Structure 1
Amino acid sequence: MYTVLVQIEACLNSRPLTPISNDPNDLEPLTPGHFLVGEPLTSIPEYDVSDVTMNRLSRWQLVEQLRSHFWKRWHREYLTQLQQRNKPKGTKNTPMEIGAMVLLMEDNAPSLSWKLGRVIELHPGDDGVTRVVTVRTNQGDFKRASRRLCVLPLEK
């Protein structure tokens, strides 16, 4: 039980809070792990045992299944909470800014892994609302729907 609780604590303390610098090429975020150990928390990738029945798992696989279940649920709920909500009609919606650090919503992200990027270009539609942006990540530049991006909570 102690191992599961420590792994859950690592999941919670791995979340990005804000960019460390304003440099557009720097994709390193400040995390609660920086305050605890001086660097971001990481983990070794594990085999996914979430679809295996409980009675067929060893003790370590059961611990990994509990951690994986917590990560998937918390990751999904945390990112949903970060997303901007639409304002009522008649008010101006604040657009995403160029240079903002964003989290990319990935459905099958491994635990303690947060895909980050910087907005480098906005693509407004005919109505002037930006629904697609170009994001620079470690793997290159991608066009993403703005609804699949979350601005870091302290970036706003």
Structure 2
Amino acid sequence: MSSSPDDFHSLSPGHFLIGRPLNALPAPALEDSKINPIQRHLRLEQIRQHFWRRWQLEYISELQQRTKWKTDKTKLNIGDLVLLKEKDAPPLCWRLGRVSRLFPGSDGVARVADINTARGCVRRPLVGLCPLPTSEASS
């Protein structure tokens, strides 16, 4: 291994988080497979996938505000940027979209939205969306 300082400058945040560039293709799912201890590389990949599964379930879900338990300051608005939560996909593969239309129920509370994505417009329930923080929300 080289001790050149340039080696460290070429590392991206993805190398520290997932062991490869963030735009690298996802590895095949290994979470439930039994790994021979000799296959160290596969074991490391299994650990990474376990980390991302927990991150998806525990952290990303926290971005979704639960208005049942919190004040309703963070209503979803037209134009908000959201992640479309997809159960069988890792978080880095979730689609990004922008709210284009909200559908309120008879009580006036919106529970469904149309989302514009790179692949077209989709309709999703609000419980399946994770609003992304904005600079306005932090001020």
Pairwise TM-score range, normalised by the shorter structure: 0.7 to 0.9
Distance of 2:109 and 2:73 partners within structure 1: 8
Q: What displacement does 1:98 show?
A: 0.6
Tell me the amino acid that sits aligned with residue 126 of structure 2. S
Distance of 2:32 and 2:67 partners within structure 1: 36
TM-score normalized by structure 2?
Answer: 0.74
Quote the RMSD (CA, aligned, Å): 2.7
CA contact (8 A) 2:99 2:114 kept: yes
CA contact (8 A) 1:122 1:132 kept: yes
**1:97 partnered with 2:104:** no
| CA deviation map 1:6-65 (0-9, x unaligned) | 868335xxxxxxxxxxxxxxxxxxxxxxxxxxxx93222211111211337722111110
CA contact (8 A) 1:8 1:70 kept: no
Kindly indicate whether structure 1 or structure 2 has the higher relative contact order, using CA contacts under 8 Å at least 6 residues apart: 1
The residue number in structure 2 matching 1:16 is none
The residue number in structure 1 matching 2:9 is none
CA contact (8 A) 1:43 1:111 kept: no
Distance of 1:101 and 1:81 partners within structure 2: 16
- Structure 2 residue runs of 5 or longer lacking an equivalent are 1-12
Q: What pairs with 1:65-80 in structure 2 (closer than 5 Å)?
A: 65-80=46-61
- Structure 1 residue runs of 5 or longer lacking an equivalent are 1-5, 12-39
Q: What pairs with 1:10-49 in structure 2 (closer than 5 Å)?
A: 10=17, 41-49=22-30
CA contact (8 A) 1:119 1:134 kept: yes
The residue number in structure 1 matching 2:108 is 128
Tell me the amino acid that sits aligned with residue 133 of structure 1. A
The residue number in structure 2 matching 1:147 is 127
**Local SS of the residue matching 2:102:** strand
CA contact (8 A) 2:99 2:116 kept: yes
Distance of 1:88 and 1:47 partners within structure 2: 37
TM-score normalized by structure 1?
Answer: 0.66
**1:113 partnered with 2:93:** yes
